[in-house]
Structure 1
Amino acid sequence: MELVISEEAKDYIEKKVPSYQKVVLDFEDGDSPFKINASSCGLDVGFRLVLLQDADESKLDFSNYQSTVNTSMGEVYLKESSKLYLDDNTRLVFDPKYMRLQLKGDNSGTIANSVEIYEA
């Protein structure tokens, strides 16, 4: 699997969070060590980008994040199960009209319409 982060997306992310140690593409399935918001049942596929300031794995359980993908932002960690929702060629792009990040695939089109950024 390949994850390409566009230059516009990278710039947008780094303006919001200028320094980070680890990047996680978290699939919102309710099984995450990041207690950011409540999970809900829905038909939409939800992903969020979690940028860790303190990547001390003794504080957070990363056992769910078995996979890594090399990107222009370094390694991105993700759950093996989340690959089911991604294409072999997936892109994280910036939508300037709505000021949001989107995940898009060569085969699937838009995978996630709005990928939120969180600091942890």
Structure 2
Amino acid sequence: MKANFKPEALQYLANKIPSGSFVILTTDDGSNKYSSIGATCELADKFQLIILNHADEQFSIKLENNANYQLSMTAPEKYLVSDEITIGFDHGTLTLRDKSGILDNALAVIDWRNVNPESERDRLNKMVTLGDQIC
């Protein structure tokens, strides 16, 4: 799989994600430990780039990319995107596209390098609260 970062996206991310960083592309829908949202109305329609201190073994699908990131995603989420994705920067936000069109027009960048992971219970409580507020 490949991820092409457009020049505008590379410029925007230059001060946010250091070259060589471990980065995962994942959904923000409650389906993984990096998600803060747990609402059925959000399933697979929000994506995020998560910056990590080290690789996460659950994110084993490597994405070649022109940003010099160690970029990966999970096998269960692979069906959500085609083999070639594009990350652009349009109207002040990052965009995620593939051959089918726009997948997310507000791709988030979240820095987890200094985050203390929540317990499963705390995460579930937070997601339920957020889910009630969004849907």
Note if contact 2:59-2:74 (Cα within 8 Å) is conserved in structure 1.
yes
CA separation of 1:20/1:50 partners in 2, compared to 1, >3 Å: closer, same or farther? farther
Structure 1 unpaired stretches of 5+: none
**CA RMSD of superposed structures (Å):** 2.1
TM-score by length of 2: 0.70
SS of residue in 2 equivalent to 1:8: helix
Structure 2 unpaired stretches of 5+: 113-135
Structure 2 distance, partners of 1:32, 1:111, is 18
Structure 2 distance, partners of 1:79, 1:3, is 15
Aligned counterpart in structure 2 of residue 76 of structure 1, from 71, 75, 88: 71
Structure 1 distance, partners of 2:84, 2:13, is 20
Structure 2 distance, partners of 1:84, 1:18, is 28
SS of residue in 2 equivalent to 1:15: coil
Partner of 1:105 in structure 2? 98
Aligned residues: 110
TM-score by length of 1: 0.77
Partner of 2:26 in structure 1? 26
Note if contact 2:48-2:110 (Cα within 8 Å) is conserved in structure 1.
yes
Q: How does 1:1-120 map to 2 (within 5 A)?
A: 1-18=1-18, 21-34=21-34, 37-42=36-41, 45-52=45-52, 54-55=53-54, 62-73=56-67, 74-95=69-90, 97=91, 99-106=92-99, 108-120=100-112
List per-residue Cα deviations over 1:57-114 (Å, max 9, x = no partner): 5xxxx2321211111223211011212111222101111x2x11111112x1111121
**Higher helix fraction (1 or 2):** 2
Structure 1 distance, partners of 2:17, 2:61, is 23
CA separation of 1:40/1:4 partners in 2, compared to 1, >3 Å: closer, same or farther? same
